[in-house]
Amino acid sequence: MNLRLYLQTLRWNRVRLAAIVVASVGWGMLIPVVYVAFADAFKQLANSGAFPKELLNFGSGSLFTLPGALTLGLQHPLAIAFVGIFAVGSTVSAIAGEREGGTLEVLLSRPISRRTVYVTLAAATATLIAIVMLALLGGQLIGVAIQGVGDELDLGLMPLVFLNGLMLWSAFAAFGLAASVSFDRHAPALGLTLAYLLINYFLEILGSLWRDVAWSQEYSLFHHFNPGQILTGDADPVDFVILAVAIIIPVVYALIVFPRRDLSAPS
Amino acid sequence: MDAEPMGTPQAVIATQGLTKHYGKVEALVDLTLDVQPGEIFGFLGPNGAGKSTLIRTLLGFLHPTRGSATVLGLDIVADSVEIRRRTGYLPGGIALYDSLSGADALEYLADLQDRGSTMRQELCERLQMPASVLRRKVRDYSRGMRQKIGVIQALQHDPELAILDEPTEGLDPLMQHAFYALMDDQRAKGRSTFFSSHVLSEVERICDRVAIIRSGQLMALQNVDDLLARRKKKVELRWRGVAPDLTGIPGLADVEVKGDRMRATLQGDVSGFVRAIASPSLEDLTIEPARLEEAFLEYYAGDEASEEMRG
């Protein structure tokens, strides 16, 4: 890993990171407020039978319990947008964007191997994702403390939730970087990575809302990010294994493909 | 093809049968050449001839299809990182990090180079990039300023070998001359430069040897002086009264007499010609030196590329 490139990559993202951290903390704080305000109403609604209970779920989250509410907050499109800016946006730009802009040539004319460049950018991306995850979880914990519902939560399990989230988004980031090293242009890498993210999301949400196709969730990486299950002490190690595999495959691919690619002059 | 002995052990660049194919397109074909220490080596060819392909192959951006090459005695495939540590590279039409200031961009690239930036101050002074300009963001720079930053980043760590792709593109005439002086100093210091260009006058001005490439194939590899010495010079005479006797002058051809003027071409030694025409009736004599452009165009005779170079 190249420390100078790592620090510079973080520096380039600092303004965006600061804005997203603030937004993430705010969003995280809001979730316990919504839970406290609406949990009973949702429970009554579910028990009344007016609505099928599935329709009151969102992915693996719900507003029936605090762990479920926290899950909902972390799987909500807003949270996905916050983390996705780095896991998708930054990763596809990292190589393909620099290549398209011509700056990759200047970078690679330094004594840095392509593998080192890849590993450094991957580490920087993981750092950015970790910071946003910490902001989201930190915001949620602040909200929990403010609402005085800390007794519904086993705080000792929060690091595992963090790890689970970090692994989920690292899997998408690894895919984004793999796409980024494969194309000379930003647009196809972004399209492919966004498609991958959206398909995963669609399979998870579809399965949660329509029980007949609940099987589709098994094929979604989001289904293996389940803070609710972790916070109730039912963490499934298989989820972590699946996410680890989803990280390793694109990383290995990129480490093989990137050093072997011909990088002709940018047009 | 006029070729000189190749691949001497001390060569800073030595290629042997270097070939690069893009699918069915042959970008480089069996290229064998060498660049000697302390030499400024010009690499000539129109766009698409294979100049950038060779540079990119030497620096590890492209992988050779066949053949081998060394840079500073290091294998271009196995030792690419070390080669890049010891060389400086200016890409053609360089792109820089727009969000950084000129000073920050140079500092960042020097840090990544990991060899210090002993020449930065001098380069900034010679290329007229004062601190006030370096403080501005790269995005606000003109093309010429970006090119100057490109030259500085390539040379600031005092590399043993500089590989410069179209280095004077975008520089004004004043800065072009500052750059030529810089190249002369590099040569005097024993530094080597591999210089790709399609500006023939500047190659003629600063290069020791030149290679001419066409469709990925080496057409010529010669000393610039030798190449020009073999070319025909244009001579023009004007006299009063009796015309000088021009018969039997070795190397004189294409003689065209109009009144008191004569135009011709001259190949070889000038002194015999001057002795032969010496006469009190001689009023004016012009000997136009041979230009690299003519030599180059000869290799591209009938090729559209020659039109591009002429332009």
B144-188 confidence digits (pLDDT tens): 999 999 999 999 999 999 999 989 988 999 999 999 999 999 999
Q: Which residue has the higher pLDDT, B44 or A126?
A: A126
Which H/E stretch holds residue B150? helix B143-155
CB contact (8 A) between residue A103 and residue B80: no
The answer to whether B121 touches B161, Cβ cutoff 8 Å, is no
CB contact (8 A) between residue B22 and residue A264: yes
Confidence band of B304 (pLDDT split at 50, 70, 90): low
Tell me how far apart the alpha carbons of residues B38 and A174 are, in angstroms, rounded to a whole number.
46
Best A9, A99, A110 member to test B by mutation, with max B CBs in 10 Å, is A110
The answer to whether B106 touches B153, Cβ cutoff 8 Å, is yes
Rounded to the nearest angstrom, the minimum Cα separation between B63 and chain A is 6
With CA atoms as reference, the chain A residue closest to B100 would be A12
Structure tokens at B162: 């500089």
Q: Please compute the mean of the pLDDT values over residues B119-129 and round it to a whole number.
A: 94
Using a CB-CB distance cutoff of 8 angstroms, which residues of chain A are in contact with residue B93? Answer: 102
CB contact (8 A) between residue B84 and residue A266: no
Structure tokens at B61: 């951006």
Best A5, A11, A109, A120 member to test B by mutation, with max B CBs in 10 Å, is A109
Tell me how far apart the alpha carbons of residues B249 and B266 are, in angstroms, rounded to a whole number.
9
With CA atoms as reference, the chain B residue closest to A1 would be B112
Under 8 Å CB pairs connecting chains A and B tally to 69
- For A169-189, write each residue's pLDDT tens digit: 999 999 999 999 999 899 999
CB contact (8 A) between residue B94 and residue A5: no
Judged against a pLDDT cut of 70, whether residue B305 lies above it is answered with no
With CA atoms as reference, the chain A residue closest to B65 would be A262
Judged against a pLDDT cut of 80, whether residue B71 lies above it is answered with yes
The answer to whether A81 touches A24, Cβ cutoff 8 Å, is no
Note the pTM of the prediction, 2 decimals. 0.85
Name the residue facing A103 among B82, B97, B111 (closest C-beta): B97
CB contact (8 A) between residue A264 and residue B109: no
Which residues fall within 8 angstroms of residue B220, CB to CB, at 6 or more apart? B1, B2, B3, B210, B211, B212, B227, B295, B299
CB contact (8 A) between residue A109 and residue B59: yes
Structure tokens at B279: 């006469």
Closest CA relative to residue B205, chosen from B229, B231, B232, B225:
B225
**pLDDT of A165:** 94
Q: Which residues of A33-59 are buried (b: 16+ CB within 10 A; e: fewer)?
A: ebbbeebeebeebbeeeeeeeeeebbb
Residue type for position A231: L
Compute chain B's Rg from CA coordinates: 23
Judged against a pLDDT cut of 50, whether residue B88 lies above it is answered with yes
**pLDDT of B163:** 96
CB contact (8 A) between residue B81 and residue A113: yes
With CA atoms as reference, the chain A residue closest to B92 would be A265
The answer to whether A108 touches A117, Cβ cutoff 8 Å, is yes
Structure tokens at B199: 């500006």
Using a CB-CB distance cutoff of 8 angstroms, which residues of chain A are in contact with residue B63? Answer: 260, 262
Q: Which residues pair with B137 in a beta bridge?
A: B101
- For A207-230, write each residue's pLDDT tens digit: 877 778 888 888 999 989 988 889
Q: Is A4 touching B (CB cutoff 8 A)?
A: yes
CB contact (8 A) between residue A265 and residue B97: no
Q: Is A194 touching B (CB cutoff 8 A)?
A: no
Closest CA relative to residue B284, chosen from B234, B235, B237, B242:
B237
With CA atoms as reference, the chain A residue closest to B97 would be A103
**pLDDT of B6:** 47
Tally the residues of chain A.
267
Judged against a pLDDT cut of 50, whether residue A246 lies above it is answered with yes
Q: Of A19-23, B55-59, B303-307, where does mean pLDDT reach its minimum?
A: B303-307
- For A26-74, write each residue's pLDDT tens digit: 999 998 888 888 777 777 776 676 666 665 666 666 777 888 889 888 9
CB contact (8 A) between residue A111 and residue B84: yes
Count the Cβ atoms, other than its own, within 10 Å of residue B309. 19
φ, ψ dihedrals at B218, nearest 5° = -75, 120
Answer positive or negative: Cα dihedral of B124, B129, B133, B136: negative
Rounded to the nearest angstrom, the minimum Cα separation between A4 and chain B is 7
Which residues fall within 8 angstroms of residue B224, CB to CB, at 6 or more apart? B42, B203, B204, B207, B208, B209, B210, B292
Provide the pairing of β-strand A57-58 with B87-90: unpaired
Rounded to the nearest angstrom, the minimum Cα separation between B266 and chain A is 43
Q: Which residues of A119-148 are buried (b: 16+ CB within 10 A; e: fewer)?
A: bbbbbbbbbbbbbbbbbbbbbbbebbeebe
Name the residue facing A109 among B84, B96, B99 (closest C-beta): B84
Q: Can you list the alpha helix ranges (DSSP code H) found in chain A?
A: 3-12, 14-48, 66-75, 77-84, 91-92, 98-101, 103-108, 114-147, 158-182, 186-209, 227-231, 237-260
For a pLDDT cut of 90, what percent of chain A falls above it? 60
Q: Which residue has the higher pLDDT, B298 or A236?
A: A236
